[in-house]
């Protein structure tokens, strides 16, 4: 009797006599002889007999298959090595021609633009090589770092000439050509030898007699021996070709990593960004505290002072003039209500409860409802998830401050608020049809918003030509949004 039991894709084959199943193949026997269970995954089951050694082998024959991912990676690496030579020739020609022409004409100032153009071309070729390495090897390289050029043409020209990474790109264009000649020639020879050796039987009849490898090496003249030797060498080259091509690709990629990446420069730029964000956060906090102090001094504090004076007046007139005291008490109650309303408004500016309880959409609707002009609000955020608290706070204060400026200074008749989630960020847009002229520079009301956004590595863009309309766009990184 023969029984086959399938367990998770592996087959355990049990063989018994007509009387029943062999007890050595039972679950208890498998527990006693773990080597039998170890053979299940490979299709080889070994059983120990009683009073001796008896081995029964069950072999499962499976067709050999090549890993498609490995074959695709080998193809990408071979393409990278072979196409590196023409790209290297182009890069070498651009670099050498540009440097020679620029250096020979630098005395008449024509050479500086030529050198800058050459460096820009080398930067572009460096970007292409950087992307080719990532595509061929399937892993990221350290970031490339080029300083951002600002100002006019002269400043941008000088920025390119002062860019150390651009000169490293030019050096790579010159140095990489000999390396690419060697790697591409070796890869092409290896692959051609493998193909020619494997197909030697197909064209061996057309070769002159006695001119084969076997005759040259051993002095033996044998047609079948020649075919066997060359085919074996071709098979050996074919088997080792993926490893050889991978090694050549790693050599080219190592040179690119050494010259085309500047991890230190990227880290320095990141440190400068973080330092700027820290300064912006400190500035925004200081400005918020000053405004809070000013609002408390001009609003609730004045009303509370007047309330204290009214209560003192009531205490003096309560016995001799009750009617006048009653009138003063009514005024003091009005002052207390107004002071309470102003304190609530200030508390909403510090930490609005509706934002913490219900989210950004309802909080912005409440802000729009308190604005003295019509405001249309559209919020497009992922349903069922909340933005990080710092992102919600920043978006809320951008809208609140922008609508306050619209109501005070723009002379607009309507305003719009549009909040949408993009890949990795939240985009807040506030527009109005007012007179325009808004500016985010220091000394203006929008400078505090720019500092608040900079603390979160966000950005503020303002378009407000004279005569309007005004559009304010804030981009806030939204790390952790559940989409």
Q: Could you give the CA distance from residue 417 to residue 440 in angstroms, rounded to a whole number?
A: 18
DSSP state of 444: S
Lowest model confidence (mean pLDDT) among 134-143, 223-232, 262-271: 262-271
CA pseudo-torsion sign 392, 393, 395, 396: positive
DSSP 55-101: -------------HHHHHHHHHHHHHHHHHHHHHHHHHHHHHHHHHH
Mean of all residue pLDDT scores within the chain:
75
Give the pairing of strands 459-463 and 470-477.
antiparallel
What tens digit of pLDDT does each residue of 196-232 get?
888 878 887 777 665 666 666 666 666 777 788 888 8
DSSP 337-380: HHHHHHHHHHHHHHS-HHHHHH-HHHHHHHHHHHSSS-EEEEEE
Tokens 């050796």 — which residue?
Answer: 197
Q: Could you give the CA distance from residue 410 to residue 469 in angstroms, rounded to a whole number?
A: 9
What tens digit of pLDDT does each residue of 86-126 get?
999 999 999 999 999 988 888 778 888 889 899 989 989 98
pTM over 0.75: no
The predicted structure's pLDDT at residue 191:
92
The predicted structure's pLDDT at residue 187:
93
State the first-to-last Cα distance of the chain, in angstroms, to the nearest integer: 57
Tokens standing for residue 134: 């990532």
The predicted structure's pLDDT at residue 10:
40
Give the pairing of strands 10-15 and 415-422.
unpaired
Give Cα separations from 46 to 18, 19, 36, 151, 239 (angstroms). Answer: 21, 22, 5, 79, 33
Q: In this structure, which topology does domain 357-483 adopt according to CATH? A: Heat Shock Protein 90 (3.30.565)
Cβ-based neighbours of 407, under 8 Å, separated by 6 or more: 371, 372, 373
CB 263 within 8 A of CB 142: yes
Q: For residue 351, what pLDDT band results from cuts at 50, 70 and 90?
A: low
Q: Could you give the CA distance from residue 289 to residue 295 in angstroms, rounded to a whole number?
A: 10
Q: For residue 19, what pLDDT band results from cuts at 50, 70 and 90?
A: very low
DSSP 208-247: PTT-SHHHHHH----HHHHHHHHHHHHHHHHHHHHHHHHH
What tens digit of pLDDT does each residue of 148-158 get?
666 677 777 78
Residue 62 has pLDDT above 60, yes or no: no
| Domains of the chain by residue range | 1-61, 69-259, 357-483
Tokens 């633009």 — which residue?
Answer: 113
């Amino acid at each position: 009797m023969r029984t086959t039991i399938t367990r998770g894709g592996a087959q355990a084959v049990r063989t018994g006599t007509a009387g029943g199943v062999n007890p050595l193949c039972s679950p208890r026997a498998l527990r006693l002889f773990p080597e039998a269970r170890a053979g299940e995954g490979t299709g080889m089951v070994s059983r120990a007999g009683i009073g001796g050694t008896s081995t029964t082998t069950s072999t499962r024959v499976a067709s050999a298959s090549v890993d498609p991912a490995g074959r695709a990676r080998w193809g990408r690496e071979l393409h990278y090595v072979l196409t590196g030579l023409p790209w290297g020739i182009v890069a070498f020609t651009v670099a050498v021609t540009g440097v020679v022409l620029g250096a020979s004409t630098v005395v008449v100032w024509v050479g500086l633009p030529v050198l800058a153009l050459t460096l820009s071309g080398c930067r572009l070729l460096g970007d292409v090589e950087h992307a080719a390495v990532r595509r061929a090897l399937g892993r990221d390289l350290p970031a490339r770092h080029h300083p951002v050029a600002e100002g006019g043409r002269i400043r941008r020209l000088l920025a390119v000439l002062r860019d150390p990474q651009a000169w490293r790109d030019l050096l790579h264009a010159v140095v990489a050509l000999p390396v690419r000649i060697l790697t591409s020639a070796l890869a092409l020879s290896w692959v051609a030898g493998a193909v020619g050796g494997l197909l030697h039987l197909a064209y061996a009849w057309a070769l002159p007699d006695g001119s084969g490898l076997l005759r040259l090496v051993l002095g033996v003249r044998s047609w079948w021996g020649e075919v066997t030797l060359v085919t074996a060498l071709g098979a050996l080259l074919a088997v080792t070709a993926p490893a050889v091509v991978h090694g050549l690709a790693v050599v080219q990629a190592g040179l690119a990593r050494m010259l085309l990446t500047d991890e230190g420069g990227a880290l320095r730029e990141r440190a400068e960004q973080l330092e700027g964000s820290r300064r912006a956060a400190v500035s925004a906090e200081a400005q918020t505290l000053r405004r809070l102090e000013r609002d408390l001094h001009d609003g609730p504090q004045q009303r509370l002072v007047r309330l204290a004076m009214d209560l003192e007046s009531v205490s003096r007139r309560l016995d001799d003039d009750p009617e006048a005291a009653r009138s003063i008490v009514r005024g003091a109650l009005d002052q207390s209500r107004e002071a309470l309303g102003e304190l609530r408004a200030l508390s909403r500016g510090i930490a609005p409860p509706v934002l913490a309880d219900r989210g950004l959409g309802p909080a912005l609707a409440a802000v729009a409802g308190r604005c003295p002009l019509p405001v249309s609000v559209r919020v497009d955020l992922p349903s069922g998830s909340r933005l990080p608290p710092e992102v919600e706070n920043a978006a809320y204060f951008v809208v609140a401050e922008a609508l306050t400026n619209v109501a005070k200074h723009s002379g607009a008749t309507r305003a719009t608020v549009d909040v949408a989630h993009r890949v990795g960020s939240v985009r807040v847009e506030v527009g109005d049809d007012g007179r325009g002229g808004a500016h985010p520079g220091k000394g203006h009301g929008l400078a505090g918003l720019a500092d608040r956004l900079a603390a979160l590595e966000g950005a503020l863009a303002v378009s407000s030509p004279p005569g309007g309309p005004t559009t304010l766009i804030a981009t806030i990184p939204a790390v952790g949004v559940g989409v």
